[in-house]
Structure 1
Amino acid sequence: MSKPQWYEGTGRRKTAIARVRVFLGKEPMTINGVAVDSYFPGASAKREYERPLSLVNRLDSLTATVKVLGGGSHSQLGALVHGLANALIKFDPTFRSQLSVAGLLTRDSRMKESRKFGLAGKARAKKQSPKR
């Protein structure tokens, strides 16, 4: 049985979902067909999405294509990192311990709190009580 051309992982954060394909190569990473540097500008975002690859010392030899939808930009970045870590485990299962210690395999389960009926339109805000 031959090795697959890519290894796929899924990551989630709030309502954002990222499908990540990791493969050998030196091409720049793309997100929804756009270069990652223009999709997530800034040095802090770059450190964040390169973190899984740098932890396993594969920053120069692996690249990824990502399809991400839903959520805001920070949630999409978190979903990308989570999906990239999951794809790296499928690429090489020995990476699991390094990624697990760094906390990249744990899905951040925090979600927006749902609204309750009978309140002032927010999740926890109470209606103002008439005093007189």
Structure 2
Amino acid sequence: MRGRITHTPRSSPESPPTAENVMTTQSEWQATGRRKTAVASVKLLVGTGTFHVNQRLLEEYFPEASQRLAVYKALEVSETLKKFDFVARVRGGGLSGQADALSLALSRALVRWQPELRPKLREASLLTRDPRMKERKKSGQPGARKRFQFSKR
């Protein structure tokens, strides 16, 4: 039957899971980030610093150093560059928007891992979703803001 919820009994009723127990035993954290039309979902895993984006290495996927630095910034601010691996899936937009979306997703995943990092990442403005989007083209003119040449006579 679809939609049926089944409950399984706890294995040890004397020690229910607490936030501390779950925090230490969990080995992966997921988060999503957006920028312009790009959407990135990331899975943060305890590891050695291997990063995959759309089943390719980060260096292959983002050829420009500025894009890679945008992704690494969250890990550098939180001082966790060699502590984690991540597997990311990025869709939509261009490479710059995808790099910023991935940076936001990584920051959110790090906060899920360790909530004490929130002030440090917030200060570096890595937890703020950039709301700027492309303005639509209007009818009767060549672009969003540009007008056709005006002729007085």
Give the TM-score of the pair, scaled to structure 1.
0.90
Determine the structure 2 residue equivalent to 1:84: 106
Does 2:76 correspond to 1:36? no
Q: Is 1:100 equivalent to 2:122 in the alignment? A: yes
Q: Equivalents in 2 of 1:50, 1:34: separation in Å?
A: 16
The equivalent of 1:129 in structure 2 is 150
2:134 paired with 1:112: yes
- In the TM superposition, residue 131 of structure 1 has moved relative to its aligned partner by 3.9
- State the Cα distance separating 1:27 from its structure 2 match: 5.0
Letter in 1 for 2:141: A
TM-score, normalising length: structure 2? 0.79
4+ aligned runs moved over 3 Å, structure 1 = 1-5, 127-132
RMSD: 1.5
Higher relative contact order, chain-length normalized (CA < 8 Å, sep 6+): 1
Cα offsets for 1:44-94 (capped at 9, x unmatched): 333221111111111111111100000001000000101100110001101
Q: Secondary structure at the match of 2:86?
A: strand
Output the CA distance in 2 between the equivalents of 1:128 and 1:96: 50
> In the TM superposition, what are the counterparts of 1:44-83 in structure 2 within 5 Å?
44-83=66-105
Aligned length: 131
Unaligned runs of 5+ residues in structure 2 are: 1-16
Which residue identity does 1:111 align to in structure 2? M
**Structure 1 unaligned runs (5+)?**
none
Between the two proteins, what is the percent identity of the paired residues? 36
Matched, 1:14 2:36: yes
